Amino acid sequence: MTSAIEKHLTELGVPLPEPARSVANYLPYTRSGNLLRTSGQLPLRDGALVATGLLGQNLDVPTGQLAARWCAANVLAQAKSALGDLSRIQQLLKITVFVAGIPEFNEHHLVANGASDLFVEVLGEAGEHARSAVGVAALPMRAPVEIEAVIACA
């Protein structure tokens, strides 16, 4: 059964992807009580990265925002895998957005908006969250963005 949240994602051009499997010695998510924590999610669409490279070198802010949007979709895919239904999300508490860029790049917050905007669009008030946007030298598979989340759930 497809939820209203999943339908909305599809309408926005970001259909819920299959949840990524762990490729090393970690879990894709953990749950303790009503808290769900995701491992870092890359900007995967149909099993491939939507972009590779560094912000400020070969990628611009709109491309970074698109990558962040797909990271957010993959966070939601992990949440569905953990919870069975995205309507069980009570509140997205915190996201940490890692942005791979050159040392001079300083618009990490704008890249992170790609994810923040999607979460609020599809979850409403439950998608409002605290956030950190962190610049890094490199991410796995040359991904430009990686996002982890902490979610309160039923």
| In the chain, domain spans | 4-15+27-153
Whether 103 has a pLDDT exceeding 90, the answer reads yes
Helix (H, G, I), strand (E, B) or coil at 146: strand
pLDDT digits (tens, 9 = 90+) for 14-65: 999 999 999 899 999 999 999 999 999 999 999 999 999 999 999 999 999 9
Task: Output the pTM of the full model.
Answer: 0.97
Question: How confident is the model over 134-154, as a mean pLDDT?
Answer: 98
Q: State the pLDDT confidence band at 67, using cuts at 50, 70 and 90.
A: very high
Q: Give the model's pLDDT for residue 1.
A: 56
Measured at the CA of 91, the angle between CA 87 and CA 94, to 5 degrees, comes to 130
Question: What is the Rg, in whole angstroms, of the alpha carbon atoms belonging to the chain?
Answer: 14
DSSP string, 87-121: GGEEEEEEEEEEEEB-TT---HHHHHHHHHHHHHH
Task: Mention the CATH class of domain 4-15+27-153.
Answer: alpha beta
